[in-house]
Structure 1
Amino acid sequence: MTSAASTPTVPDLIDALVPLADGAPLHAVRHQRDKVVAATQGSHARLFDPALPGLSLAERLLAAHEIARRAGVTVLADHYRTQLLALGTPTAAQQAALDGEPVPTEDARLAEILRFTIALADKPVEGDQAALLRLPAAGIDTPAVVALAQLIAYVAYQLRVLAGLQALAAAGDAQSAAPAAKEEAAPFVHPANLPKPGEPIRINGFTSETLGWKAWLPVLDLAQATPEQTAVLESSHPKAKTSDYYLLLVQQPAILQERSTVFNAIMYAPGGLSRAERELASAVVSRINGCVYCASVHAQRFEQLTKRNDAIAQVFHEPQGAGTNARERAIVQASITLTATPAGFGADDIAPLRAAGLSDLEILDLVHAIAIFAWANRLMLNLGEPVYGGEG
């Protein structure tokens, strides 16, 4: 399988839209994470490949436009509008969608695609099995539903990466920022009201216990897997062959391959933001989006890395103001803002991060961690449900 990420045929879209000129300081910072850059562009190429079956390119561009428009990220919405108009004169239904008006009833398929798109874009926690199953009922098969869900979640990721980079650009060169004040680390004392590290936390419906996940659509029968699907499963996750999540997503193997590359490059890249801080941001985003499954996984990982659970308990109780020191509080607040109001994320949101001592590479890593869970949460919340007891 030839990766679209390895042979890009167009300039990097996010670089172009920020914009980031080759040689600019922020361009250099972004390209310290070249694996993320390449796999993000590779995901874009896969998701908007005109030859992708099951969904027309126009349907995909309209969905992407709607997500960016609703988020208020105008430069990205304009890009998708331009791409759609380049295909030719829009139909009446397509023009209505571009204008943010209800799609005429004669195009029921497009209406269902946009209904699902809006649900995932705005309040993914409100997705349910009945809402998902309206897509197959409209004649959209499981691989096409998987492609649509991946596209919607990708654009939610893409617009947050774009907004975070634009905020960094607006904040100016980090060299001119005031030096961070050093904060003495107090010795950790485990709060008496919390379970000991290693024991589950359960607060407001969120938990750090191990959960399973069950898909709402048919998953791949491994006996029917193609060599490409088998290879993608083997490279994605050690338990992918027994996971409903991967067995559902691998029905679009090339898209899953790029998405797994993006995720791993963001969460496990050496240097920059600490692994524990990436896990904290992931847990915050999942808490804001209402993704119980993702919150449980990344709460566990934060605790395993730090040997403490106090910050997670704060996040589960009330994300606003959570964090045990100024650096954690800045990370949590940036995670909340970029998740909830990406178009409003700006230089004023970068300043507390720099004041808390984060370098621009660390801030980029934070933006990426926040954005990848805009992607992950939407898949987990809208394609299936958590299973208590670690099964599924």
Structure 2
Amino acid sequence: MEQRRISGKNHWYHETQSTARRAHALPLVPEAATVNDPFLLDLTLPDDLLTDIDSIVIPARKLYALLFPQRVAVNRLRTFSAYDRLSTALTAAQVFGVQRLCNHYAARLAPLPGPDSSRESNYRLAQITQYARQLAASPSVIDARARQQLEEVGLSLYDLVIINQIIGFIAFQARIVAMLQALLGHPVRFIPGMDMQQEADADRFSRAETMWQAGIDAVELRIASAPQMESLARWQPLPELRLLAPVLAHEHLILNELGAIADQVAQQRPDVQLAALAALYTARINGSEHCFAEQLRRRKDGAQRELVLREGGRELQRVFASNAQESALIQAVQLLTCAPDRFSPLSFSLLTEQDLSRRAVVSLLAECALCAWLNRLKIALGQTV
């Protein structure tokens, strides 16, 4: 195996192994590391949507600062370094294919020294990279064994929370940026030949009743800190975080910002039934059985629609074709979930043509983006029983 200790990468496609260089490598777009807005990556917000989008973007910017600080102190409980964080973010960004994100995280990663070239370090990085790629591209393949493999290479309970929050955050960011680029009329730029995410297998959704069980230890209330208890008290009542909050509270500052985002998305829902459909179909694609079951209870669809939602596939479009808004929303959610890099101005306009305002469309697609995050957390940090 090639020995490896280098300062950076000269392109944004990151691999675990790479050729050593004597000279410092520069990222493809070095200025992408110094954007004024690290979440929207210097996209200009439309004036008529500024308030709604800003209420989501402000906590997202704070969360970015928590996940990707300039310096990260590591210890035996928190081993996930700045390099680990940014390489994980870049791996996820590559899967989603939104070039603005790829440029940014590659530029942030490039100057950082990589881990040493020992067999253990190489294996640890390979496992982290494989996990990040799988959770980003095919969330439903992640299971208890995947968590165990991360623990076997030295990731702690706190590291497991951080890596999954990073991948979920990048999933959310990629879809918000893709949606806003489409709203602003930016042309689609994607890499030909890259695979689209496929719908999860229908067998996962055959059960009528499901329960979610955490796969890692929750915060122990008897020894939890005052800030952790405050975070739990504030965000556990939120339906989206009811089960996740006790696990995510290990990193309570991150939970606080995720909670603020989820709360704002919930407040901006233009139509509860349409929002539930966006969340329902996103969970169906990603393979989050418990998220799917919760949204199905909110929708209360008829037996035929419930069956076709469980089955997924092309039949779903035919059954929902009688409702133009729902049909257009299903198409938009499918593309934004499976291939955010291909979400175009045409994709956005298909919704506005169905008597939905731009504000309503942004809110519904923000619901889809948030579910991309929450679905991955539910899948990665526990299991449905």
User: Residue 218 of structure 2 corresponds to which residue in structure 1?
Assistant: 219
The secondary structure found in structure 2 opposite 1:224 is coil
For structure 2, list consecutive stretches of 5 or more residues without a partner in the other structure. 1-33, 188-201
Retained in 1: the 8 A contact 2:39–2:64? no
Q: Larger deviation: 286-295 or 106-115?
A: 106-115
SS at match of 1:107: helix
**Equivalent residue letter for 1:236:** W
Where does residue 174 of structure 2 map in the other structure?
159
Q: In 2, Cα distance between the equivalents of 1:383 and 1:118?
A: 16
Q: Deviations over 1:14-73 (max 9, x none)?
A: 4434x216xxxx254143232211111122111113346521111111111111112211
Q: Which moved more, 1:55-64 or 1:30-39?
A: 30-39
Q: CA deviation at 1:314?
A: 3.5
User: Does the CA-based 8 Å contact 1:284-1:335 persist in structure 2?
Assistant: yes
Tell me the amino acid that sits aligned with residue 345 of structure 2: A
Structure 1 residues 91 and 234: alpha-carbon distance in aligned structure 2, compared to 1, 3 A threshold: closer
Question: Residue 217 of structure 1: SS of its match in structure 2?
Answer: coil
How far apart, in 1, do the equivalents of 2:177 and 2:308 lie?
29
Contact 1:214 1:384 in 2 (8 A): yes
1:308 and 1:273 map into 2 onto residues whose CA distance is 22
In structure 2, give the amino acid aligned to 1:213: W
Amino acid at match of 2:290: Y
Letter in 2 for 1:277: L
Say whether residues 1:316 and 2:310 are aligned partners: yes
| Aligned-pair CA distance for 1:209 | 4.8
TM-score for the superposition, normalised by structure 1: 0.76
Q: Residue in 1 aligned with 2:343?
A: 345
Taking the aligned partners of 1:278 and 1:71, their CA distance within structure 2 comes to 23
CA 1:213–1:299 in structure 2 vs 1: closer, same or farther (change >3 Å)?
Answer: same
Match of 1:35 among 24, 47, 55: 55
Q: 1:344-363, CA deviations, whole angstroms, 9 ceiling, x for partnerless residues? A: 11012112111111111111
Distance, in Å, in 2 between the alignment partners of 1:126 and 1:56 is 26
Which amino acid in the other structure matches residue 43 of structure 1? L
Instruction: Name which of 259, 272, 280 aligns with 1:275.
Output: 272
Provide the residue aligned with 2:23 in structure 1. none
Judged with a 3 Å threshold, the aligned counterparts in structure 2 of structure 1 residues 120 and 83 are, in CA distance, closer, same or farther, namely same
Report if aligned partners of 2:275, 2:364 keep a CA contact under 8 Å in 1: yes
Number of equivalent positions:
328
Q: Secondary structure at the match of 1:13?
A: coil
CA distance in 2 between counterparts of 1:74 and 1:171 reads 12
C-alpha change, 1:105 and 1:143, in structure 2 (3 Å) is closer
Whole-Å Cα distance in 1 between the matches of residues 154 and 257 of structure 2?
Answer: 27
Q: Is the 8 A contact 1:61 1:83 kept in 2?
A: yes
- Write the distance in 1 (CA, Å) between the matches of 2:235 and 2:120: 41
Residues 1:301 and 2:298 aligned together: yes
CA contact (8 A) 1:205 1:292 kept: yes
TM-superposed CA distance for 1:262, in Å, is 0.8
1:289 aligns with 2:286: yes
Equivalent residue, structure 2, for 1:238: 237
Normalised to the residue count of structure 2, the TM-score between the two structures is: 0.78
Distance 1:164 1:312 in 2: 28
- The CA distance in 1 between the partners of 2:134 and 2:61, in whole Å, is 25
CA offsets, 1:143-189, max 9 Å, x none?
A: 111111111111011101111111111179xxxxxxxxxxxxxxxxx
1:136 equivalent to 2:151? Answer yes
Residue by residue, what CA displacement relative to the aligned partner does 1:262-310 show, whole Å, maximum 9, x if unpaired? Answer: 11111232xx62122111100000011111110011111223xxx8676
Shift of residue 105 of structure 1? 6.5
Amino acid corresponding to residue 227 of structure 1 in structure 2: A
What residue number does 1:195 align with?
none
Question: Are 2:128 and 1:113 aligned?
Answer: yes
Change (3 A) 1:349 1:213: same
Query: How far, CA to CA, are the matches of 2:375 and 2:353 in structure 1?
Result: 29
Question: Within 2, Cα distance between the matches of 1:171 and 1:60?
Answer: 29
What is the deviation of 1:316? 2.3
Give the Cα–Cα distance (whole angstroms) in 2 for the partners of residues 92 and 171 of structure 1.
Answer: 41
Aligned residues: percent identity?
Answer: 26
TM-superposed deviation, 1:317 = 3.1
8 Å Cα contact 1:171-1:350 kept in structure 2: no
Equivalent pair of 1:157/1:372 in contact (CA under 8 Å): yes
In structure 2, the residue matched to 1:45 is 65
Q: 1:369 and 2:384 equivalent?
A: no
